[in-house]
Amino acid sequence: MEKLQKINELIPRLEKLFEKEDLFYSRELNKVDETGNVKYCEFCISDIPLEESYERQICLGVADEPYPFKLINFDWEDPEKEYFKTIVINDFKENEDILFTFLLAFLEEYMTAKVWIEDDWFYTLEDLKNTRDHY
């Protein structure tokens, strides 16, 4: 399964992915356009029930295209190629295991997607599989 055109297609697929990975989740901050289409939402995910601990949660902001401020290119990779930051995850400190579980499942679903965490590095499905295999 590859590129989705609309957030309205991605949201239910994310929810199925969370369920498949036994992650608890809530969907917050729905922003819709004048036609009722979701343009932005936020998920909080955890490996324990959300109400049990705020410290075991990470939040994912999910945005629809096109938003110019969500486009980015990387001089070190291909200065002509633009990427759209569909999912943005902030503040996962001490919850890297939850992030890893989500990212591995996400990249298995969207094999051509890339995860950008470091300044000059993308993580691919193979990168994450290799990391998992070393532990």
Mean predicted lDDT score pLDDT of the chain: 80
The mean pLDDT value for 11-27 works out to 94
- Tell the residue number behind the tokens 């809530």, with chain if given: 26
pLDDT at 12 over 60: yes
62-66, 83-87, 88-92, range with the lowest pLDDT: 83-87
The mean pLDDT value for 39-58 works out to 91
Q: Band the pLDDT of 107: cuts 50, 70, 90.
A: confident
Q: Is residue 93 part of a domain?
A: yes
Q: Is residue 2 part of a domain?
A: no
Q: Is residue 44 part of a domain?
A: yes
* Domain limits for position 72: 7-133
The mean pLDDT value for 34-60 works out to 89
Q: Is residue 74 part of a domain?
A: yes
Count up the domains in the chain and report the number: 1
pTM: 0.77
pLDDT at 119 over 70: no
Q: How far apart are CA 64 and CA 56, in angstroms?
A: 27
E strand or H helix at 20, and its extent?
helix 7-20
Q: Is residue 1 part of a domain?
A: no
Strand blocks (E) in the chain: 24-32, 38-46, 57-63, 71-74, 78-84, 87-90, 115-118, 121-123
29 or 47: which carries more pLDDT confidence? 47
